[in-house]
Structure 1
Amino acid sequence: MERGIASFTYSDFTLEYAITGEGEPVLYLHGGHSNCLEQLGIEELAQNGYSVIVPSRAGYGQTSRQIGKSLEKACSFYIELLNELNIDKVHLIAASTGGPSGIYLASHYPERVQSFTLQGAVTKPWQEASVRDAVLSRFLFHPFIERFVWRSLSSLTRFSPDYAFKKIAPAYSTLSYEEIKQRMLARDWYLFDRMTEFQRSG
């Protein structure tokens, strides 16, 4: 599936974005370990007749981090992106830590949103479970270190997908690992492998 990557400048700040597919426009606000090169679900949306627009959120990829000074400012840039692309309305999907931006955009610009989906999204201010977790996550996902963390996880997934998934699964579900595993399909393992291969915040 072909993907076009571009950027535009507004008020001296840059917003990077990618577009995949043709059809009804979807604005996809990615989560914390990603950028406009997000993989999860994009191909499926494009194959079902949607044009998926994924902006790199503030500070991710090549997008200016100053855009993220507030939700108001970040969302004003998403609206300018839609104006730039001559798009009146979009289906809005906000995933993971893209949740607050999606909620703000849908509530303050309802005339630009045709439908709104929260996908495993953060809806409240983020708080780490402990100081230790906060310090560890800031270290592991520092811009100079996170690429090696994801590369290591990707290698582990290739070598032992069952072990890697068992370590990650509790963060995403209240079900036991055995219950989750019973529900897994062959394609789910493939998508898990792709997630660990392509996740990068930049």
Structure 2
Amino acid sequence: MTTEPFALFDAWYAEARASEPNDSNAMALATATADGRPSVRMVLLKGHGPDGFIFYTNLDSRKGGELAENPQVALLFHWKSLRRQIRIEGPVAPVADGVADAYFATRSRDSQLGAWASDQSRPLDSRATFEARFAEMQARFEGRDVPRPPRWSGWRVTPERIEFWQDRAHRLHERTLFVRDGERWTKGLLYP
């Protein structure tokens, strides 16, 4: 299988990491409910390669529920300063527990504790309630490692379509589309 779309992604991503001032790994994640009601939000890319694109979240969050109900997603990287974007579409599946555990161990301690304290996407009566829960987690895990919460894990998007969009003068943009056909990728151009 050609890895051409992944080599191009790596090149563009490296440029973004060198030039974007904040969160060059930020991507819009579009999900939908089982009946097709869409939702989109920003998440952070935490791993990528020919096997897919990985992000992490609370499994009980709105996005976690939508991913479980309808495991088809779209991703969008938009690097405004580079005048580029990459669109990715495909199915999503949970990462292995070992992969999620290894990534969770690299997060800052406060981020780890926050994952335990947060009921992500659920109503919150006040910021003080969350801060109290965070303090409880600090006390609970004082002096020891913070394990990954059972309701927190990662998802891997296996791309079926990857589009590279490059801005050009007068809206004469350049668009290159890769489509997976079994184990092969076909490459073509799209009108702007």
TM-score by length of 1: 0.25
Higher relative contact order (CA 8 A, sep 6+): 2
**Bigger share in helix:** 1
**Bigger share in strand:** 2
Which is greater in Rg?
2
TM-score by length of 2: 0.26
